[in-house]
Structure 1
Amino acid sequence: MTGAPTLIYTTFESDEEAKRTARILIDERLVACANHLAPATSQYIWEGTFCEDREYPVLLKTTETRAQATMARLRSLHSYDTPAILCWTTDYSDRDYAKWLSGQITKPRHQK
């Protein structure tokens, strides 16, 4: 196993960007899975102005040992100047799921 299951949450400007970015992270074996959540309305202050935008949240599943590399790659792919990239390691997880997740990240590219 390559570390505890770790979750990374972020939001995107469009569903297309969310899916494209998640696919890259999965293909590069940085994450095992991406859960695309329903569009959300985000409210915040940006550069002194109140904003209310539709965003597309994604929950990415990786391992603790791959989290930093995943966040760096996610940052490089993201269209936002300052994306919300939030990460936490799970305290508990199903052992079989954790084994599958780890295997997806460490599996050589030629295997499916």
Structure 2
Amino acid sequence: MRDAFWVYVTAENEAEAKLIAKTVVEERLAACANLLGGIQSIYWWEGKVCEGEEVALVLKTSNARKTELIDRIKQLHSYDCPCIVCLPIADGNPGFLSWIAAETS
């Protein structure tokens, strides 16, 4: 079983995404972060369909740090209910997966 997780987050703008990314990497809650850039989002919120621009952010972390990472993102995020989705990494470059574990231990 792999110990690495791919964490997808949406942020209000690039500044917020960078703040989250830098903070969680500096705190070693994530080994690395990728800002994927601007995205168009369409979603239900408070009883209606909303539309807006956001920035997608991908983080890589270990199972041991995943809960702390989620909690920290929620502290830093401007949204009441931020999108934070953790997907287990089933396989990949063993060296990279080991690096994730080492950088978040």
TM-score w.r.t. length of structure 2? 0.93
- How far has the Cα of 1:85 moved from its partner? 0.7
- How far has the Cα of 1:64 moved from its partner? 1.2
1:82 corresponds to 2:81: yes
Contact 1:11/1:55, CA 8 A, preserved across alignment: yes
- How far has the Cα of 1:93 moved from its partner? 2.0
- How far has the Cα of 1:49 moved from its partner? 2.1
**Equivalences for residues 57-96 of structure 1 within 5 A:** 57-96=56-95
Structure 1 segments, 4+ long, off by >6 Å, are none
What is the identity, as a one-letter code, of the residue corresponding to 1:66? R
User: CA offsets, 1:68-105, max 9 Å, x none?
Assistant: 11111111111100111101111112110011112222
1:56 corresponds to 2:58: no
Distance between the aligned counterparts of 1:55 and 1:11, measured in 2? 6
Contact 1:5/1:93, CA 8 A, preserved across alignment: no
- Name whichever of 22-31 and 93-102 sits farther off: 93-102
Contact 1:8/1:88, CA 8 A, preserved across alignment: yes
Distance between the aligned counterparts of 1:75 and 1:67, measured in 2? 12
Contact 1:11/1:83, CA 8 A, preserved across alignment: yes
- How far has the Cα of 1:15 moved from its partner? 0.1
Q: CA RMSD in A?
A: 1.1
Distance between the aligned counterparts of 1:89 and 1:96, measured in 2? 17
Contact 1:38/1:56, CA 8 A, preserved across alignment: yes
- How far has the Cα of 1:36 moved from its partner? 0.6
Where structure 2 has 5 or more consecutive residues not aligned to the other structure, the ranges are: none
What is the identity, as a one-letter code, of the residue corresponding to 1:5? A
TM-score w.r.t. length of structure 1? 0.87
What is the identity, as a one-letter code, of the residue corresponding to 2:23? I
Which residue does 1:46 correspond to in 2? 45
